[in-house]
Amino acid sequence: MQWSKSDPWRSLSVDGRLGSVWPTLARMLYCCARLLSLTLALALSLSSLLLHAQAGTMQQLSVPSPALGHPLEVSIYVPNGPVPTDGWPVLYLLHGVDGSARDWSTLGDIQSTLDRLVQTGRIRPILVVMPDTGNSWYVNSAKVGGPGNYEDAILLDLPRAIEGRFAPNCRRETRAIAGISMGGFGALRLAFKRPDRYVAVASLSGALWQNIPESSMLDGGWKGASALYFQRIDAATVVSGLDLPPPGTYFAGAFGSPFKAASFNRANVFTVLGQQISAGTTLPAIYLAVGDHDSDNLWRGSIALYDTLKADHLKVELRIFDGDHSWSFWKPRIEDMLEFVDASFVTRPAGSLVASRPVEAPPIVGTAVSAK
């Protein structure tokens, strides 16, 4: 065997016969590359089909609500596949002021986020319920001429309809509630008022303020804080004062028209929490997140609530991130919140529960919207 003198890289003499080596190698490499390319394309195609098959669906429903006297509009995310024996865990998501149930999808991209976290194993499949509640502040306000009895609608009517149909075995250990801004106020308030119903609660930029001192009330009303929040003791020492709410007109009649400071105090998150702490009640797992540049200064309320809980050595998770009071802040925080909630769920061992029939639930009107 000897190399050709004319082109040792292209020609090889074997027993006197010249053979072309490089073209043969090139063809072999080309065929290998094509095979690898086709294999990768097939793998990606199968992966895409698998992920699409695992995607959940969004449904828009109309739920009867005796508490309100009219139907409650709801968006829900339903995981793909049959309902597990133990039922899906359930998360209620509450929107903010001037928002709606659809905000979680249109602004928060909740469906894609849930699909991705479930598909990658970061959370278990979960039923997510997003009611449309107006500027109700999630309190009962029919008697004072407010938006309506939304506390009863969320605590009673909504679970009766949704869980009766989709999660008949739901219990405290598999139920959580969360919200943004006004929804953070509502989620915390409802979870503290009924800690027997929720295993976890999360607030993203919760609209939280401490109680209004009686000495600051004007004929029972409230025109907003007059004292400075920060107080300088000396050149090296600054302390914070009470974190008080904006003027009463901000609350859209939920606490009376005109606004009644005493009604706000009675319904406030801090009041309900204080009552449960005094009673020694076991509270849900608590997650608070807020932006350090929140344009409404709502980091103050989250810090005040954190301090209130820590003063009694109660567990709470507080996260302060870079960001303002907007969906550009909340959207990435949804993932952290979902992982916190998922870690709080307590599921029964396989085989410990016989699947129950759905309870008699009120009729629901609505349509399913397939995942893209």
**Tens of pLDDT, residues 114-125:** 999 999 999 999
pLDDT exceeds 90 at position 366: no
HSE at residue 83, side-chain half, CA atoms within 13 A, is 21
Q: What is the pLDDT of residue 85?
A: 78
Q: What is the pLDDT of residue 224?
A: 75
Confidence of residue 23 (pLDDT cuts 50, 70, 90): low
On whether both 90 and 43 belong to a single domain, the answer is no
Q: Which domain holds residue 206?
A: 57-350+357-369
On whether both 32 and 175 belong to a single domain, the answer is no
Q: What percent of the chain has pLDDT over 90?
A: 68
**Tens of pLDDT, residues 42-66:** 544 444 444 444 689 999 999 999 9
Q: What is the pLDDT of residue 184?
A: 98
241: phi then psi, degrees, rounded to nearest 5: -100, -160
Question: How many domains does the structure of the chain reveal?
Answer: 2
pLDDT exceeds 60 at position 355: no
Residue with tokens 């809980």: 309
On whether both 90 and 150 belong to a single domain, the answer is yes
On whether both 254 and 302 belong to a single domain, the answer is yes
Instruction: List the CATH number of the domain containing 308.
Output: 3.40.50.1820
Q: What is the pLDDT of residue 22?
A: 57
- CA distance between the termini of the chain: 63
On whether both 46 and 61 belong to a single domain, the answer is no
On whether both 217 and 339 belong to a single domain, the answer is yes
What pairs with residue 90 in β-bridges?
127, 175
| Tokens matching residue 62 | 């109309």
Q: What percent of the chain has pLDDT over 70?
A: 79
On whether both 9 and 71 belong to a single domain, the answer is no
DSSP code string of 202-229? EEES----PPPPGGG-BTTB-----S-S
On whether both 269 and 346 belong to a single domain, the answer is yes
On whether both 46 and 96 belong to a single domain, the answer is no
On whether both 20 and 80 belong to a single domain, the answer is no
On whether both 38 and 76 belong to a single domain, the answer is no
Strand 2-3 and strand 237-240: the pairing is unpaired
pLDDT exceeds 60 at position 361: no
Give the lowest-confidence range in 168-182, 306-320, 358-372: 358-372
Q: What is the pLDDT of residue 55?
A: 83
On whether both 61 and 42 belong to a single domain, the answer is no
- Choose the final residue of a domain: 34, 50, 66: 50
pLDDT exceeds 80 at position 206: yes
Across all residues in the chain, what is the average pLDDT? 85
As a whole number of angstroms, the distance between CA 288 and CA 300 comes to 12
pTM of the model: 0.82
Q: Going along 28-184, which residue ranges are E strands?
A: 57-63, 72-78, 90-94, 127-131, 175-180
